[in-house]
Structure 1
Amino acid sequence: MHQDVKLYARGITKRYGRRTVLDNVHLAVGAGQIAAVVGANGCGKSTLLRICAGFASPDRGTVQIHGTLGYCPQDGGTVDFLVPDEHFLLVGAGRGLSRGASRAAGRAGARALDWEPDPRVQARRLSGGTRQKLNLVMAGIGAPDVLLLDEPYQGFDRGTYLDFWQQLYRWRDEGKAIVVVTHLLTQLDGVDTVLDLTPAGVRA
């Protein structure tokens, strides 16, 4: 069945000084697909997602996004002195949602990860894993068409990690195009395409 392409990255090349991090990389992800980006440390996985999200520019190549975009970074992304609900309101406002809809969307996303945010606790007081839950929930607010997720499960326990993949499958069933950077290969049989960025000379 033909998939409507929501993300198309073509010929992406990125260098830092004399070091080539990405060399002519191609990735196409359709509606209702999950693409996993894998590879050795330092092979450019996070750089590719930042380029696709518009936070970095390639030296060559183009990225086309058809629809709205949600992005979950590997770290950062939260504001130390804001509580979770305030994060939900900020992201929701940027996506045209009312305060009530933003809060409801954020809390529903949190429940999907078996998390009930304490309305009094600032982000700086959250554990690393819970901050990543907050990042992941924010990425999904407003039901974006394309989701870019950079190892968003850092610090998750096993139960939350499984909840995370169930959330990905729900998003796929809703027709989202999902790109997830991962170094854990146990779930790759549940994705639609795999992009391995490990340089040829580094492969086992």
Structure 2
Amino acid sequence: MSEDRALETEGWALRLERGLAGAGIDGRRARRLAEEAVAEASDYALPPEEVYGPAEAYARELARAARAAVREERRLDESRSGAPVLRLRDVSKRYGRKTVVRDVSLELGSGQIGAIVGANGSGKSTLLKICAGLVRATSGSVERVENVGYVPQAGGLSPLLTASEHFRLFGSLDGKNERESLVAGTRLAQSLGWRPNRKLGAARLSGGTQQKLNVVLGGINRPRLILLDEPYQGFDQGTYTDFWEQLFSWREAGAGVLVVTHILHDLDGVDWTCELHPQEES
């Protein structure tokens, strides 16, 4: 970094810190937020003002986000009581004469991880799509909270959009502005050991990295219900461990997490399982 760039960055960080303090953020936290913003901007090899805009305006946004986080924490405190975020009663799905899912009932509470397991062809992915509202059940009832994150087994990305553009697109669905979306997405990506390349479209990412992006998009808006369909295809062992740590973090934060898996040792960390079996034509 050139001396001029360093001075600009230092000045921007100081203005941000002062703006945060003026908005009621305590000095230690204001300093930490300024340092984090500078560090995140450096990941993109850009001055922080190019990433976040003027320090004074960004300070107001951060202060507003901090107040919203307090309200969200109160909501999560309430959700940690275990109130259901998903409830299925006698759900079945048929395609013609083929029954794919038969009479499934389950209830997922906030602060729980549930697992759907079963042999290939037992209807695991179909059931998860029913939970997400992507497929209509033939019979039975489905109740879910409104704020839902869904992570597919593959696909679901726009091939020409970069990771950052995906962050902005999905974040906008929750009312986030571009900078808030970028920060939320980057932080989740880092929890998976990934620093997104700001120039590569999704089609140029490896299969494992595309799935990391899908996981980030599933959680970027802090949904109360997170549905994941074996999204760890292509993960190395380190990322696989990080993935489960993120699921545990979501559970600790009060979200309900439902994951499709075929790996038996995954079940050690879940609260309950729902086992499906292949159905015969009738």
Normalised to the residue count of structure 1, the TM-score between the two structures is: 0.95
More helix by share: 2
- The answer to whether the 8 A contact 2:149-2:219 is kept is yes
Q: Are 2:146 and 1:51 equivalent residues in the alignment?
A: no
- Aligned residue among 209, 216, 236 for 1:157: 236
Runs of 4+ in 1 over 4 A off after TM superposition: none
Q: Are 2:133 and 1:28 equivalent residues in the alignment?
A: no
Q: Are 2:99 and 1:4 equivalent residues in the alignment?
A: no
Give the CA RMSD over aligned residues: 1.4
- The answer to whether the 8 A contact 2:90-2:102 is kept is yes
* More RCO (CA 8 Å, sep 6+): 1
Q: Distance in 2 between matches of 1:130 and 1:17?
A: 37
Q: Are 2:252 and 1:173 equivalent residues in the alignment?
A: yes
Normalised to the residue count of structure 2, the TM-score between the two structures is: 0.69
How much has 1:199 moved relative to structure 2? 4.4
Q: Distance in 1 between matches of 2:266 and 2:122?
A: 20
What does residue 270 of structure 2 align with? 191
Identity fraction in percent: 50
More strand by share: 1
- Give CA-to-partner distance per residue, 1:87-133, whole Å, 9 cap, x none: 01110011121111111110001000000000001100001110000
- Give CA-to-partner distance per residue, 1:155-194, whole Å, 9 cap, x none: 1011100000000000000000000000111120110010
Give unmatched runs, 5+ long, in structure 1: none
Q: Distance in 2 between matches of 1:200 and 1:23?
A: 8
Larger radius of gyration: 2
Matched length: 201
Q: Are 2:180 and 1:79 equivalent residues in the alignment?
A: no
What does residue 98 of structure 1 align with? 177
What does residue 190 of structure 2 align with? 111
What does residue 218 of structure 2 align with? 139
